[in-house]
Structure 1
Amino acid sequence: MLKRGGVKVHGRFWISDQAHLIFPYHLLMDRLREESLTRGKAIGTTKRGIGPCYADKMARVGIRVCDLKSMSYLRQRLLDVVKDRNAVLTKVYKHQPISFGKTFAYCKKIRSRLLELAIDTPKYLYDASKAGKNILFEGAQGTLLDVDHGTYPFVTSSNATVGGAITGSGIAPTLIDRIIGVVKAYTTRVGEGPFPSQFPENLMRLVQQKGEEFGSTTGRPRRCGWFDAVIAGHAVRINGLDEMAIMKLDVLSGLKELKIATAYRVNGKLTRDYPHAINEFSSAKPVYETMKGWDEDITHCKKWTDLPVNARKYLKRLEQLMGTPIKIVSVGSQRHQTIFL
């Protein structure tokens, strides 16, 4: 895909030799499990096989990039995995078994292409750090989708918090010296799971269209809601954030009033802390603080003082609630539509 786009990857793009491989049977298992769950219990997975691949990793039956080096070792390992997967497919899901021959042929097909990109990532990063190079880790998803610290079980299969950058890459935690949190000026969620500050339907559709809130992987519409300072504060604590970047402030232009969830009522009690029990979070009722909105188009703003007064007040209040300075504000989808504070 990168090559088709004219991007040169040779000598620039690498894959960890410790990375686990997603096989066609992972996608099949993902789809069958999701389809077997009743409404309300489905996770809303992308069905890309990620969860079953992580399950194999934790069960110590996963196959990694470095396993492709020895075809005899890979063959035996794959025989054991396919036998185990077929037992589940045929007995639990009443599905036809997968073919070992086709799966092994798939390995042969991808082997050379992956091995030429495979490197010892921890050593590569360590050497780069010692050479004084700048290293940037970009997180995906978000804190509330973290398998340990998110809205379990409505989470992804990995650690989407800062800790995941350490365990996933192999870099030493002492080498990370700056952590920037990225959050939208409102809250979004894709997939299933509780969402206390979710917009009413009409406002949801408006923000989805204006903010182009559709999943990058599946194209599913993202659910949208008011800024939730409770979960934002949880993310600040879990990740040890040094500063914040606020995205899509321009999407809120034109709204007469803006609400911020500053606390929840759970079982009749007021709390400003994120409740970890999913049944409590599902029943949480947001306590809102209301602020005045703005009508101005802010997509051409270049500096802090260009922003409308009410936009600045809104950002300052978010900063106070999160207890972390806002250093970046996005007012559009283009690079130049970024204000650095």
Structure 2
Amino acid sequence: MANVVVVGSQWGDEGKGKIVDWLSEQADVVVRFQGGHNAGHTLVIGDNVYKLSLLPSGIVRGKLSVIGNGVVLDPRAFVAEVKKLKEQGVSVTPEALRIAENTPLILSLHQDLDRLRESATDGTKIGTTGRGIGPAYEDKVGRRAIRLMDLADLSALRPKIARLLNHHNALRRGTGQSEIDPEALYQELADIAPQVLPFMDDVGALLDKERKAGSRILFEGAQGALLDIDHGTYPYVTSSNTVAGQAAVGSGLGPGALDYVLGITKAYTTRVGEGPFPTELTDETGRLIGERGREFGTVTGRARRCGWFDAALVRQTIRTSGITGIALTKLDILDGFETIKVCVRYELDGREIDYLPASQAAQARVKPIYEEIEGWRETTAKARSWADLPAQAIKYVRRIEELIGAPVAVLSTSPDRDDTILVQNPFQV
């Protein structure tokens, strides 16, 4: 039995919710290993729709769920999401959910700083959700973060708050903001502590025990690999590593615990926020894809930018995440197009290249080189076997496999979890 890592192979929003839910039903343990409550997963189970931002998807399936140390945790958002799930009939108990003791916390001051930077007029707008994720990771790397375990020893918390505020109050003074009162921050943390501390655990040891006992572990990524802080379209990226290797680092296990990497890949391309997007369509076709695909963010409600499938980008993600196979989603959105374009490489300053360069300036200058593929008139929606698909749709899928250098393990043809064509079960490699 394999342990599986699920990552988005584009800029996120690839339809991970459905695939992760399908896999979590087979898993024993589900782990979130990076990001914060800026990521959204929509799960449709029967007549119930669950919108999760922080909690692992397995929580609605009654599976042991884990928030790893690679996540930054907003304790107020956590409490609010637990309450919302309870209202939908899902009880989140310490027996069902564990949070790494060394998980850094997102505080209100992080959100203040995030929003302040996004409202600046100096050209640094990144397009963040304003939820404090970036500043919280900065404090983690700066070795001044307040971590979950710190709430268990309130007597030692004040000196840590003072160290944190030495940094943040200087920033606030420099931007004309009022300083944070250390006692107010202490009280904020002391008040929330009893609501989150019962979930605290040494999750690295917990997961190692589960692995040795033969449990199936599903590592659930947020965002997409092209938003990775190292390997994404910097600086228009998130603040954590989103590639598959982070599943080990962000959960307290070694890389040997990762057996299969499933890359969730949309049959076209979307992006939220700022940054380069070589295949973006700003015409009627792009609008039509967005409407058909209901391309609006789960967390923010922002309309997503839409474009043709970019094989050059996905090839890079397959390399940086070591993707074993892909789950191709939303094929049905392309039904009815006379021709469909796929970007196979780029033109940069008069020469052809087969990768997206790391330079921000070069990324802005690349032009997509397209291959045109004949479309299909028949519907692919709700197909559950290859026999249900139009021949030309199968050709499109096969051509994508050739261009990206990875097989399609799962094909999704609607948001309904049963409308799935399984080629290879990642848990059974």
**TM-score interval w.r.t. the shorter chain?**
over 0.9
Aligned residue number for residue 208 of structure 2: 126
Are 2:396 and 1:314 aligned?
yes
Aligned equivalents of 2:245 and 2:383: distance in 1?
35
What whole-Å deviation, never above 9, does each CA across 1:130-181 have from its counterpart, x for those lacking one? Answer: 0000000111111110000000111000001101111111111111111111
Candidates 183, 192, 207, aligned match of 1:101 = 183
| AA matched with 1:29 | L
Aligned residue number for residue 28 of structure 1: 112
Counting aligned pairs with the same residue, the percent is 41
Q: Residue 92 of structure 2 aligns to a residue in which SS? A: coil
Q: Which deviates more from structure 2 when the two are superposed, residues 226-235 or residues 272-281?
A: 272-281
Are 2:226 and 1:165 aligned?
no
Aligned equivalents of 2:291 and 2:157: distance in 1?
48
Residue 286 of structure 1 and its aligned partner are, at CA, apart by: 0.3
Residue 2 of structure 1 and its aligned partner are, at CA, apart by: 2.0
Q: Residue 21 of structure 1 aligns to a residue in which SS? A: coil
Are 2:367 and 1:285 aligned?
yes
Which of structures 1 and 2 has the bigger CA Rg? 1
| AA matched with 2:408 | I
Aligned equivalents of 1:206 and 1:52: distance in 2?
36
Are 2:288 and 1:206 aligned?
yes
Aligned residue number for residue 77 of structure 2: none
Residue 86 of structure 1 and its aligned partner are, at CA, apart by: 1.4
Residue 38 of structure 1 and its aligned partner are, at CA, apart by: 3.5
Q: Residue 250 of structure 2 aligns to a residue in which SS? A: helix
Aligned equivalents of 1:4 and 1:124: distance in 2?
29
Aligned equivalents of 2:221 and 2:128: distance in 1?
18
- Unpaired runs of 5+ residues, structure 1, are none
Candidates 157, 180, 191, aligned match of 1:74 = 157
Residue 318 of structure 1 and its aligned partner are, at CA, apart by: 0.3
Candidates 249, 266, 269, aligned match of 1:187 = 269
Matched residue count: 339
Aligned residue number for residue 5 of structure 1: 88
Candidates 142, 147, 152, aligned match of 2:224 = 142
| AA matched with 2:127 | G
Alignment check: 8 A CA contact 2:98 2:200 kept: yes
Aligned equivalents of 1:228 and 1:286: distance in 2?
8
Aligned residue number for residue 63 of structure 1: 146
Q: Residue 109 of structure 1 aligns to a residue in which SS? A: helix
Aligned equivalents of 2:186 and 2:168: distance in 1?
14
Paired residues for 1:149-298 under 5 Å: 149-298=231-380
- Unpaired runs of 5+ residues, structure 2, are 1-83, 424-429
Aligned residue number for residue 83 of structure 1: 166
What whole-Å deviation, never above 9, does each CA across 1:277-309 have from its counterpart, x for those lacking one? Answer: 111111100000000111222213110121011
Aligned equivalents of 1:113 and 1:164: distance in 2?
28
Aligned residue number for residue 304 of structure 1: 386
Q: Residue 180 of structure 1 aligns to a residue in which SS? A: strand
Aligned equivalents of 2:302 and 2:170: distance in 1?
33
Aligned equivalents of 2:187 and 2:401: distance in 1?
54
Alignment check: 8 A CA contact 2:379 2:390 kept: no
| AA matched with 1:154 | Y
| AA matched with 1:88 | L
| AA matched with 1:104 | Y
Q: Residue 217 of structure 2 aligns to a residue in which SS? A: coil
Aligned equivalents of 1:103 and 1:294: distance in 2?
59
Aligned equivalents of 1:186 and 1:277: distance in 2?
24
| AA matched with 1:127 | K
Q: Highest relative contact order (Cα 8 Å, sep 6+), 1 or 2? A: 2
Aligned equivalents of 1:104 and 1:264: distance in 2?
53
Are 2:127 and 1:44 aligned?
yes
Aligned equivalents of 2:257 and 2:169: distance in 1?
44
Q: Which deviates more from structure 2 when the two are superposed, residues 201-210 or residues 328-337?
A: 201-210
Question: As a proportion of its length, which structure holds more strand?
Answer: 2
Residue 16 of structure 1 and its aligned partner are, at CA, apart by: 0.9
Aligned equivalents of 1:207 and 1:172: distance in 2?
40
RMSD: 1.1
TM-score (norm 2): 0.77
| AA matched with 1:33 | R
Q: Residue 137 of structure 1 aligns to a residue in which SS? A: strand
Aligned equivalents of 2:341 and 2:333: distance in 1?
14
Residue 101 of structure 1 and its aligned partner are, at CA, apart by: 2.5
| AA matched with 1:15 | I
Aligned equivalents of 1:207 and 1:98: distance in 2?
46
Q: Residue 406 of structure 2 aligns to a residue in which SS? A: coil
| AA matched with 2:356 | Y
